[in-house]
Structure 1
């Protein structure tokens, strides 16, 4: 039991209809509760399947007593209210002679970052940040951007980190894409330039 709670991946053991019998702390955290409060809850009430056909395939496999892993794409709301996506992997964990086996369910969380809403203050960039984004869009390296802006490479990285946190961007490519989408960089011009510059 102690080992089950130390698994960093969200995991639960469910009865055949999807009733949670046991859940680890990571699974409870995804539902903003404790493992004990998940017991008896319907797994599909917490995680919404994106394709009902995936559930039918699992039900048919259980009926025919097939042993395999089955993925189910799901969505749910995180504790902060944002929509999340992931994949439940369902596997049988018991093999009773006359009954339907229990299920081991593992949740793989997809990293999703919602785009900044239009007109949101977080979608803006300072003049220095905008200039760095234009240079990156043109293919400049960190060293080239530092030289052209009069900053150090650490200074450029500092601005990029701040932008990444503010915009929820995973990498520089996403930063540049968001700069175009939010109107910081002018579309359809080469070399890339800041709007209004």
Structure 2
């Protein structure tokens, strides 16, 4: 099965539609210039093969990565929204999906990234496995690495700020948040902008990663909730 997965991965990443180019060291890059790390999982979400760089991104070795559930490398909220995508691949309702994720790196670091899942079929048309490609947001990683964790009292949010952050973390759009919180779109963007400056994050994905790294968002809960000690 691994040979079939590797063959499919070479095809998928070299196809023009995949939007990849190669860096000087041969590492595939996304159209936005982000590095792509690849692993192969079976239909039960267990990793059967992984590039060394994929494992290092999660603070592990290849030997420690293989055999583990993919979800062990991701934030505990991941199964609640990724399971439906993997189910669609398993049932043959789609051949590919793209989603956002928060990964667990070494030393308690978290990072935001894009996650792509690509179905690999055997000769009978059944699902042989899944190629997963992770594209970390480098600016989110750098922000998390450069800024020390702050004491909760330094990061107090208003109740409305917390609701906006929870919505952003759950993937809600500006329009959806405006309707949910009875704000204008400009009002939502104002509160998002305040939190971007507070947490020194360059974009929404980085904001969520920073909030996770600071312990602002409760672990293992979906939809995400801001921990009470961070709310005024």
So what's the TM-score if we normalise by structure 1? 0.50
- Greater helix proportion: 2
